Amino acid sequence: MFDDADMIAFANDQGARARKMFAAVVLAALDDAIADEKKYGNGVEGIARWARSRDGVQVLTCAGIESNERTVQGLVEFVRRGIRTSVALRGERGEDGEGDLKLAA
């Protein structure tokens, strides 16, 4: 019986690690979109297109994020603000001096 409990705990731990890895992919996509928005001006459209694409929906789902229009709008708004994810996760102010951005844990 102890072996079954260990196997369940191991499987749950593996799932949590996989979700974190996919969440990191979402954060990287946001950072790329922010960089594109600053450099080329097309980051907002790019993140919206990615989030609605088959690959984007699959990555969001694997990260534990429900893929719907509200999620897409949240990602678009995040890119519009232009605050890098590393700064936003620390809760610091962006380079442009705008207010703190709070992310739900």
Per-residue pLDDT, 101: 46
Considering the domain boundaries, does residue 100 fall inside one?
no
As for how many domains the chain has, the answer is 1
Alpha-helical regions (H) of the chain: 2-39, 43-52, 54-62, 69-81, 85-90
- For 67, the enclosing helix (H) or strand (E) is none
| Residue at 34: amino acid letter | I
> Number of C-alpha atoms within 13 angstroms, CB side, residue 75?
30
Considering the domain boundaries, does residue 27 fall inside one?
yes
The one-character DSSP state at 82 is T
pLDDT digits (tens, 9 = 90+) for 75-93: 999 999 999 999 998 876 5
Per-residue pLDDT, 2: 58
Considering the domain boundaries, does residue 101 fall inside one?
no
Considering the domain boundaries, does residue 40 fall inside one?
yes
Considering the domain boundaries, does residue 24 fall inside one?
yes
The residue that leads in pLDDT, 49 or 98, is 49
Which domain range does residue 11 map to? Answer: 2-90
Which two structure tokens, joined as six digits, stand for 15? Answer: 């799932």
